[in-house]
Chain A
């Protein structure tokens, strides 16, 4: 029975890789044949709109391989989940691993598969979304000359993400952690000819790298102190650590989360990452990859809990969770505000993603892995849905700016329906999936003992209001508001996409509704408790007072109402607000991303480049020219000068006394100074003869 589960897990992990391998080889052969000349930068959308959807044989082959391999993975995942949830006990795990480095000292650094409730839960989310988004990408990427490359990388990413989920040690997790960064890099920079894409890709990778370095340091200190990196061995070994050590490690590991899951101050890369194709945004930058941070903290939650144990006091060292919570709450607010002023639809969704991930991290900081994973599930579904529909909208109107759209609900009804459902989920409309999970998070924060939990709670509620507001804003602007005159033509031609562009979003919309139904707490089945039993056996949820969900519902409804009022009924107020002298600088401040990017760029460009130039100058000018060329060669000249000073100061004093004699003699011998070396030598030889003759004479006398 156990081995069966392991084989299923192996199937889940390997099948995307197999697909990716086939596609990579295929892509290389393709490029070797065409020499890359056929790949152009533009998607030829117009072309296929005129001729209808006709996939080339190449596209058919590639997308079939891609989707099939993910489908295989999904099937394995379903089998695994069914097997696991029906046969295993709560909190049980299975693991298989092998020694990666192959020598005795590092035998505790292993690579393997870890199957427990957390990884199965996360794996289900990943495979399901990946399957749907792969199907969507089949049509979305149609006509792009980089089709094979896209699917190869996309499959590669799915495999990597699943491997990350099933990682059994910190070391393995770090490998895939960085590799999802790589696939993110490759996919953001997919349209390789766009300078902005190249820039965004680099930025994403680098911001991640900063976090990764903190993560690496964190778990290497852990390795030093405990001698193991395997997740299953760690909980028993960390009890020997001092609170300071645990806190330090926890915060360093959280550094990785800041990079990967886009927390303050490194969250700006996520908005730029929207340069990639929409399916990429949908799966990497909203629903799976950026959740890796949340997943990791959940995975090693025992560490944070260890750091947290006991009462909070600031003299002690148990501040790790507080750092997490506060960073998350600040990020949630900042990113939410930014989504409010952003004009590009994908960027709005990106900031919204940051804000929502912060909710999950906030839940973790408040001490509940369950609430975080709960919100992760609901958010992953509706955010992927929103991205897919947003992609469809962009696909049909060829613009990213929401103000250039308008009144699209009649033109693209299927997309509109799906997107509306997603937006309702995001806004946390009472009764829909987002509402329940968000509520769980807020309740956790409210009842936690993190310092300042009431303030955190308030921040969460404010963010909930803002979320509802910006969700309403873009829905109304895109679908309900009349388009401005210059954009009417653009909107007129819009119509729903083909099968693969509409069906996956609709399936997702169905999933959102299904989730909403599942999440409704009934006396028979409470999803949160069910999840908690699996993820945190032995822990019991707080009895949540009824006021909290009611408060939350009121706030959300207020937000939606404000949105509708501002953006639909009374647009003038908004216009006058935009003219307000107090609002403009604030708006500008937010739109400039609170100058976080500017500061980081300044650090990256100015001091780093100054240091760089300086060191290069040291290299070339000081080490090369001065030390080698000057000190060694001219150093001897310097010595000569020193002796020269000695000469002039002391010897000359004596010499000057007899200069008269010298001068007289010099005049006499002047004629000998012919300047010809031979003559000098002759004189020398003659002198030698005289000298030797004299010595001979002396000996002879003796």
Chain B
């Protein structure tokens, strides 16, 4: 059973990375947004594997649902201007590619080495989701211990909304 999960995880991870790559490489912005959606769903599935089904739900609804819509709208609003992705390894991009690859390696190395130092409980997955039902815990936590989280998030989102409305509205409309 273990190898099956593992294999699935690797598969989904690779697909996610490929989708992220697609996000950056596609020519049309619209398509980029679609790829982003798939990437986000991939990440959501990762959460599921890690035992966070409720977070997966949030990821899909808020991110894949809400934010993506924003992107689509803004793409529509800023016109259908096509940008060529300069993925032909042109000279001007060679530095950036190099930087990115270096970043990937250093970051991975760092995280793995730090993890190795801290000795977490091995590689065993603490899959609380399957034993207790994570959504339930999550809700209990949200409504008891962390019961100010949702209002604060509300205020935060609201101020973001206020700001964006203020930004988008033209002067004469206000």
Across the interface, name the chain B residue whose C-beta is closest to A682: B96
Across the interface, name the chain A residue whose C-beta is closest to B114: A699
Tell me, in angstroms, the Cα distance from A685 to B99 when the chains sit together. 7
Asked whether B99 lies within 8 Å of A692 as measured between CB atoms, the reply is no
Tell me, in angstroms, the Cα distance from A693 to B101 when the chains sit together. 12
Contact bitstring A33-61, B, C-beta under 8 A = 1, else 0: 00000000000000000000000000000
Which parts of B152-168 form the interface with A (CB within 8 Å)? Answer: 162, 166
Asked whether B106 lies within 8 Å of A693 as measured between CB atoms, the reply is yes
Asked whether A689 lies within 8 Å of B103 as measured between CB atoms, the reply is yes
Asked whether B174 lies within 8 Å of A682 as measured between CB atoms, the reply is no
Q: Which residues of B contact A686 (CB under 8 A)?
A: 99
Is B75 in contact with chain A by the CB < 8 A criterion? no
Tell me, in angstroms, the Cα distance from A682 to B106 when the chains sit together. 16
Q: Which residues of A contact B162 (CB under 8 A)?
A: 632
Asked whether A696 lies within 8 Å of B106 as measured between CB atoms, the reply is yes
List the 4 closest A-B pairs by CB distance, nearest first. Answer: A692-B106, A689-B102, A699-B113, A685-B99
Asked whether A685 lies within 8 Å of B109 as measured between CB atoms, the reply is no
Is B110 in contact with chain A by the CB < 8 A criterion? yes
| A190 nearest CB across to chain B (Å) | 48
Contact bitstring B92-127, A, C-beta under 8 A = 1, else 0: 000110011011001101100110010000000000
Q: Given A682-B95, A682-B96, A695–B110 Cβ distance below 8 Å? A: yes
**A residues touching B (Cβ–Cβ < 8 Å)?**
629, 632-633, 682, 685-686, 688-689, 692-693, 695-696, 699-700
Asked whether A696 lies within 8 Å of B103 as measured between CB atoms, the reply is no
**B residues touching A (Cβ–Cβ < 8 Å)?**
95-96, 99-100, 102-103, 106-107, 109-110, 113-114, 117, 162, 166, 174
Across the interface, name the chain A residue whose C-beta is closest to B101: A689
Q: Given A692-B107, A693-B106, A685–B113 Cβ distance below 8 Å? A: no
| B161 nearest CB across to chain A (Å) | 13
A/B interface sample: 20 pairs, CB < 8 A: A629-B174, A632-B162, A633-B166, A682-B96, A682-B99, A685-B99, A685-B100, A685-B103, A686-B99, A688-B103, A689-B102, A689-B103, A689-B106, A692-B107, A693-B102, A693-B106, A695-B110, A696-B110, A699-B110, A699-B117
Q: Which residues of A contact B107 (CB under 8 A)?
A: 692
Tell me, in angstroms, the Cα distance from A699 to B114 when the chains sit together. 8
Q: Which residues of B contact A685 (CB under 8 A)?
A: 96, 99-100, 103
| Count: A-B pairs, CB below 8 Å | 32
Tell me, in angstroms, the Cα distance from A686 to B97 when the chains sit together. 11
Q: Which residues of A contact B102 (CB under 8 A)?
A: 689, 693
| B85 nearest CB across to chain A (Å) | 13
Q: Which residues of A contact B99 (CB under 8 A)?
A: 682, 685-686, 689
Asked whether B113 lies within 8 Å of A692 as measured between CB atoms, the reply is no
Across the interface, name the chain A residue whose C-beta is closest to B104: A689
By CB atoms of chain A within 10 A, which of B100, B113, B114, B162 has the most?
B113
Q: Which residues of B contact A695 (CB under 8 A)?
A: 110
Q: Is the interface of A mostly helix, strand, loop or mixed?
A: helix
| A613 nearest CB across to chain B (Å) | 23
Tell me, in angstroms, the Cα distance from A689 to B106 when the chains sit together. 7
Across the interface, name the chain B residue whose C-beta is closest to A694: B106
Q: Given A682-B99, A689-B106, A696–B113 Cβ distance below 8 Å? A: yes
Q: Which residues of B contact A688 (CB under 8 A)?
A: 103
Tell me, in angstroms, the Cα distance from A629 to B95 when the chains sit together. 46
Across the interface, name the chain A residue whose C-beta is closest to B167: A633
Pick the contact of B110 from A629, A633, A692 — CB < 8 Å? A692
| B94 nearest CB across to chain A (Å) | 12
Q: Which residues of B contact A696 (CB under 8 A)?
A: 106, 109-110, 113
| B26 nearest CB across to chain A (Å) | 18
| A510 nearest CB across to chain B (Å) | 76
Q: Which residues of B contact A700 (CB under 8 A)?
A: 113
| A302 nearest CB across to chain B (Å) | 61
| A182 nearest CB across to chain B (Å) | 44
Tell me, in angstroms, the Cα distance from A695 to B95 when the chains sit together. 22
| B40 nearest CB across to chain A (Å) | 22
Tell me, in angstroms, the Cα distance from A308 to B103 when the chains sit together. 100
Across the interface, name the chain B residue whose C-beta is closest to A636: B163
Tell me, in angstroms, the Cα distance from A281 to B166 when the chains sit together. 61
New A-B contacts (14) at CB < 8 Å, excluding given A685-B103, A696-B106: A633-B166, A682-B96, A682-B99, A685-B99, A685-B100, A688-B103, A689-B103, A692-B103, A692-B106, A692-B110, A693-B106, A696-B113, A699-B113, A699-B114
By CB atoms of chain A within 10 A, which of B100, B103, B117, B162 has the most?
B103
Tell me, in angstroms, the Cα distance from A633 to B113 when the chains sit together. 47
Tell me, in angstroms, the Cα distance from A273 to B155 when the chains sit together. 60
Q: Which residues of A contact B174 (CB under 8 A)?
A: 629
Q: Which residues of B contact A633 (CB under 8 A)?
A: 166
